[in-house]
């Protein structure tokens, strides 16, 4: 019975998540509880725990008094009784009596064992929680351990603790097999049913930021600062960077020689297209850079409404908007301005048709709504998605669909 309890804490002596002083305090508390249940108090007892060897010693300490003068049995022992423990004890000395676990009885020992196991496991969970709370925002590398319907369970390569990568925190195109190595950023740490739950993410902006820190030494050293990141995970990202050292080209440093630095990040993010631009306090210039790869002719700002009218050559409009309006959405989030794209009136497309020519089929106020957002020709309307047209014109979905059908038929004819 004694061995069972000693083995219980011997199993935990090599735990990496619990420091020795804390473990000793827990063990001592468990054994003192055992003593209090049997003797009513633990005041005159010494508990010596040796976590290295996995053993312990329990000693009862009482003052030796003459026979018949014992007033408090918990603190005093008669000379006759003391002599039975060790024959050379004298009155006035302290009597040290060693106790053994078997003396406490089987039921008490088993209860203490369960308490001990429970307390140490709780302690380890708390330590894991604290450790990962301090690492929120850090990148971790782990091995895919189990693939579930909604989550992927990953074993941290450094600590072997279990981490969770939810499906909604994965990049579009992510596909992992058991045993593969996965990178992610620690998004959050929560206690769920008294168990630490470490959630990873590959879609957070900070994941891209940390990847850039790893690949670009100038960022880690503080020579280049990432001012802002906006992402559509797995599709496109825009990163504004700045250097306080005029000798350093921040964009060039982030891209690397022949794209050597950025290519590794792009591969990690499943070919996410990353635009890196120089940050500036000049709003017009920032908008111009944010709309890359499109070339802007001019920009009219409305600082009160935080809107900007951007004028481009006709062949640059689709580049500025991007597939599904993605480029202009990210540029808007990066700059903080609602961007409205207009075709430069100085250039016209020879194979295009002016909207005014559809006056017999489309009401004038509807044509005016399209012109107000810079769409004064059929092709300029068709280049935008229905969702974008609805958002920018405030027209009904049915109306927009009808107009688009009319314009498409014109070109089909």
Segment among 23-32, 83-92, 276-285, 321-330 with least mean pLDDT: 23-32
Q: Select from 328, 137, 313 the least CA-distant residue to 238.
A: 328
Q: What is the largest CA-CA distance in the chain?
A: 123
CATH architecture of 209-279: 2-Layer Sandwich (3.30)
CATH architecture of 2-131: 2-Layer Sandwich (3.30)
CATH architecture of 142-203: Beta Barrel (2.40)
Which pLDDT does position 1 carry in this prediction? Answer: 40
Which pLDDT does position 338 carry in this prediction? Answer: 93
Which pLDDT does position 48 carry in this prediction? Answer: 83
Q: Tell me the H-state helices in 216-294.
A: 217-220, 250-255, 260-268, 283-290
For the chain, give every domain's residue range: 2-131, 142-203, 209-279
| 229 and 209 Cβ atoms separated by less than 8 Å | yes
Judged against a pLDDT cut of 90, whether residue 142 lies above it is answered with yes
The H-or-E segment that residue 38 falls in is helix 20-39
Judged against a pLDDT cut of 80, whether residue 84 lies above it is answered with yes
What percent of the chain is modeled with pLDDT above 70? 92
Kind of pairing between the strands at 139-147 and 338-343? unpaired
* pLDDT tens-digit map of 234-273: 999 999 999 988 889 999 999 988 888 999 999 999 999 9
pTM score: 0.63
Burial class from Cβ neighbours inside 10 Å (0-12, 13-18, 19+) for residue 184 reads buried
């Amino acid at each position: 019975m004694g061995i069972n309890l000693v083995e219980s804490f011997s199993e935990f002596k090599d735990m990496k998540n619990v420091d020795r002083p804390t473990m000793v305090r827990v063990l001592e508390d468990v054994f003192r509880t055992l003593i209090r249940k049997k003797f009513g108090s633990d005041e005159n007892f010494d508990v010596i725990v040796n976590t290295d060897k996995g053993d312990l010693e329990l000693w009862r300490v009482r003052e030796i008094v003459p026979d018949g003068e014992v007033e408090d049995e918990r603190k005093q022992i008669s000379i006759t009784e003391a002599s039975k423990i060790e024959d050379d004890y004298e009155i006035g000395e302290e009597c040290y009596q060693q106790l053994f676990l078997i003396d406490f009885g089987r039921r008490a020992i088993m209860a203490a064992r369960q308490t001990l196991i429970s307390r140490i496991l709780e302690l380890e969970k708390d330590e894991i929680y604290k450790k990962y709370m301090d690492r929120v925002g850090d990148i971790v590398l782990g091995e895919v351990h189990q693939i579930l319907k909604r989550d992927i369970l990953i074993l941290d390569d450094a600590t072997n603790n279990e981490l969770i990568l939810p499906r909604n925190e994965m990049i579009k195109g992510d596909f992992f097999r058991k045993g593969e190595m996965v990178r992610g950023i620690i998004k959050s740490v929560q206690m769920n049913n008294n168990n630490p739950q470490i959630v990873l993410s590959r879609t957070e902006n900070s994941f891209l930021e940390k990847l850039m820190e790893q690949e670009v030494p100038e960022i880690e050293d503080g020579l280049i600062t990432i001012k802002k990141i906006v992402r559509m995970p797995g599709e496109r990202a825009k990163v504004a960077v700045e250097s306080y050292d005029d000798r350093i080209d921040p964009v060039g440093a982030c891209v690397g020689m022949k794209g050597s630095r950025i290519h590794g990040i792009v591969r990690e993010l499943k070919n996410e297209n990353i635009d890196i631009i120089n940050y500036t306090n000049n709003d017009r210039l920032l908008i111009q850079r944010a709309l890359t790869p499109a070339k802007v002719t001019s920009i009219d700002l409305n600082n009160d409404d935080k809107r900007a009218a951007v004028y481009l050559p006709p062949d640059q409009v689709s580049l500025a908007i991007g597939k599904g309006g993605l480029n202009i959405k990210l540029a808007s989030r990066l700059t903080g301005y609602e961007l409205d794209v207009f075709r430069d009136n100085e250039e016209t497309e020879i194979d295009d048709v002016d909207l005014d020519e559809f006056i017999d089929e489309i009401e004038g106020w509807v044509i005016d709504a399209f012109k107000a957002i810079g769409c004064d020709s059929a092709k300029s309307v068709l280049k935008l998605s229905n969702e974008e047209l609805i958002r920018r014109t405030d027209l009904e979905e049915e109306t927009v669909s009808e107009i688009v059908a009319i314009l498409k038929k014109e070109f089909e004819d």
